[in-house]
């Protein structure tokens, strides 16, 4: 499945992956490692391209100047293709279960076929295909994308009105905007303010937000190029240096 950004050419600038600074709070245990995702021995999921790390630090400093006591909580960063495949399969199984579709559902039944297709489309809005084509890498495999949220000074994540990786419209960045405008739903106002704050400081540092995910931002990958109106992406698929 091609994405709207798949047509952006990649001219990788060659920056290495770098471990995130201790200035950031990284959620432990890593959410996908806890599920058994195959990162492999010694691989660090909390890594990004060198230039992306610098921009993320700039964004956190901006956040702390605007909202003292807040910081970023990093959920996920660099992701190898094997982990992307694992998590796509996991998300499909979870969504099938949520909709009451057994794993051994009959695929020759038209209604079941339609239900399974609906699951694939729903999951596909949030999870990029685990493509090994160097011209269409999943955003996280480039080291240019980060999933994050806001946290208090102890590192406890704030309630953003929807869990990271939730499948559904509640994950859309502006989901609470209409309710917040009326001012009658105090929770909607709070959630919208928090999502807007996160988006503002990240965009001020040059990041672009995934259109369906309040938590996903990137700089330099194909998604970034598409949203920023750039013809060329700066980062392709990346692997740790030996």
**CB under 8 A, 24+ apart: contacts of 183-187:** 187/161
Q: Where are the domains of the chain?
A: 9-82+140-233
Asked if 149 and 76 count as a contact pair (C-beta separation under 8 A), the reply is no
Indicate if 213 belongs to the active site.
yes
In Å, what is the CA distance from 233 to each residue of 7, 46, 69, 192?
10, 22, 34, 30
Phi and psi at residue 5, to the nearest 5°: -95, 0
Q: What's the pLDDT band for 38 if we cut at 50, 70, 90?
A: very high
Among 1.10.10.10, 3.30.1380.10, 3.50.50.60, 3.30.565.10, name the CATH number for the domain at 9-82+140-233: 3.30.1380.10
How many Å apart are CA 178 and CA 212, to the nearest integer?
A: 16
What dihedral angle (degrees, nearest 10) is formed by the CA atoms of 220, 194, 75, 130? -50
DSSP classification of residue 156: P
pLDDT at 43: 85
First to last CA, the chain: 32
User: pLDDT digit string (tens) for 222-239?
Assistant: 999 999 999 999 999 998
Q: What is the pTM of this model?
A: 0.94
User: pLDDT digit string (tens) for 92-121?
Assistant: 999 998 988 876 666 677 887 888 899 999
The catalytic residue among 50, 153, 213, 239 is: 213
């Amino acid at each position: 499945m091609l994405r709207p950004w798949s047509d952006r050419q990649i001219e990788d600038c060659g920056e290495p992956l770098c471990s995130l600074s201790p200035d950031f709070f990284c959620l432990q245990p890593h959410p996908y490692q806890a599920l058994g995702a195959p990162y492999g021995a010694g691989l660090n999921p909390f890594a990004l391209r060198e230039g992306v790390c610098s921009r993320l630090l700039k964004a956190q400093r901006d956040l702390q100047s605007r909202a003292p006591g807040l910081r970023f909580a990093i959920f996920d960063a660099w992701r190898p293709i094997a982990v992307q495949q694992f998590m796509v399969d996991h998300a499909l199984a979870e969504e099938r279960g949520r909709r009451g579709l057994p794993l051994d559902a009959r695929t020759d039944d038209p209604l079941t076929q339609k239900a399974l297709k609906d699951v694939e489309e729903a999951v596909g809005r949030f999870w990029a295909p685990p493509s090994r084509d160097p011209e269409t890498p999943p955003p996280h495999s480039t080291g240019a994308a980060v999933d994050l949220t806001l946290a208090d000074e102890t590192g406890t994540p704030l309630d953003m009105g929807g869990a990271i990786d939730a499948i559904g419209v509640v994950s859309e960045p502006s989901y609470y905007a209409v309710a917040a405008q009326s001012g009658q739903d105090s929770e909607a106002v709070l959630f919208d303010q928090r999502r807007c704050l996160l988006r503002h400081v990240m965009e001020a540092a040059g990041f672009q937000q995934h259109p369906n995910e309040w938590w996903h931002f990137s700089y330099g990958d194909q998604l970034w190029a598409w949203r920023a109106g750039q013809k060329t992406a700066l980062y392709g698929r990346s692997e740790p240096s030996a």
